[in-house]
Chain A
């Protein structure tokens, strides 16, 4: 990797570690290899959102041309959000694409992602199904997002109604994660979800 990229990441790493956001457990970064090409980030679900109380892990890949090109970031933790793929964790955020600027850092990226969780852009979606639900049935979207935060991100807010429906689907012989995705996509209609899973 280019010298400037390694030097930058080393310095940014120190910056993140010293930052206020780390002290308040909002963001964190750790190295996953010795060459500074891959890192693991973590952000806390912002308060007053369905993601509150959840911890979201991120995969951060540093390109050779960093910081002149953006880092490649993806959610490892599954999340229900219009701008994040519920399947792959791919993120649709302008600063990680054409609006990247070399003066941005890992810290600003993680803070931006945290802000994205609190301010979805359904008109510029990554996951069309989630965006559709967000726009057409906001209450259902929030319920689902909260359930996903509980199921995958360790949030404590559990919804007994949704858990019951999930149990029904699992009892039909479907795998839990697949059943959860299908139920979420079908606004938690068990029969429609079962049809979708069988098709």
Chain B
């Protein structure tokens, strides 16, 4: 569930990122502008300031590796938009695929940080809150369920039908529970004695040898 949600979120993020990139490509503008002026319409207006703004954007996200990668590339060409376009033709498709998630991430985190930008995209604002709720509640619920099933009273009903000791007594005396290939459970001492004397399962009389028995962990 969570992973699906995340994926959906990131996919939406990509779409938005692509959209933003495209506008940036067309106009040679970067996100820095937006932080100052949240509305996308303004982007077109601040053409000249946008170029300088791109450097600021990358500087802010220095703590995030993904962004640093982008900026390193972009610094060469002086614009992050050109980075994607100017990469080697042979490896373009592959690199793009690899880069895209990074871009998405950068933009998403950026948006999450700056509420002004967030307001420009409603979807992104909603989705993270959902994705946070599920991972917190789910493991707890499952954890509770497991605990209940483990401590069910049926567990103590397992016993060796030969010595009639129950599971606790068997383990306390250093023995272990073993199952035959026919699925019948005994303590290791009794089933060994039994196979030595009769070579048959003490419960169903199926023919057994020493290798027809294995430990079982209930």
Contact = CB atoms under 8 A, between A and B. Distances in A.
Interface of A: 4, 7-8, 11-12, 65, 67-69, 99-103
Contacts of B162: 4, 8, 67, 102-103
Contacts of A7: 163-164
16 contacts: A4-B190, A7-B163, A7-B164, A8-B162, A8-B164, A11-B164, A65-B197, A68-B194, A68-B198, A100-B198, A101-B201, A101-B203, A101-B204, A102-B161, A102-B202, A103-B162
Contacts of A8: 162-164
A101 B207 CA distance: 12
B205 interface: yes
A69 B198 CA distance: 9
Contacts of A11: 164
A67 B203 CA distance: 12
B18 interface: no
Nearest to B204: A101
Given A99-B205, A101-B203, A102-B194, 11 more contacts: A4-B163, A8-B163, A67-B162, A68-B198, A69-B197, A101-B204, A102-B162, A102-B190, A102-B202, A103-B202, A103-B203
B197 to A, nearest CB: 4
A98 to B, nearest CB: 9
Contacts of A103: 161-162, 184, 202-203
Interface in B191-218: 193-194, 197-198, 200-205
Contacts of A99: 205
A104 to B, nearest CB: 8
Given A7-B163, A8-B162, A67-B162, A101 B197 contact: no
Contacts of B194: 68, 102
Interface of B: 161-164, 184, 190, 193-194, 197-198, 200-205
Interface of B is mostly: loop
Contacts of A4: 162-163, 190, 193
Nearest to A104: B202
Nearest to B197: A68
Contacts of B163: 4, 7-8
Contacts of A102: 161-162, 190, 194, 198, 202
The 4 closest A-B pairs by CB, nearest first: A102-B202, A103-B161, A68-B197, A103-B202
A169 B163 CA distance: 53
B193 A101 contact: no
Interface-central residue, A8, A11, A65, A67, by most chain B CB under 10 Å: A67
B87 to A, nearest CB: 74
A103 to B, nearest CB: 4
Contacts of B203: 101, 103
Contacts of B161: 102-103
Nearest to B202: A102
A15 B212 CA distance: 30
A101 B205 CA distance: 7
Contacts of B202: 101-103
B200 A101 contact: yes
A3 B142 CA distance: 46
Nearest to A100: B198
Contacts of A69: 197
A67 to B, nearest CB: 6
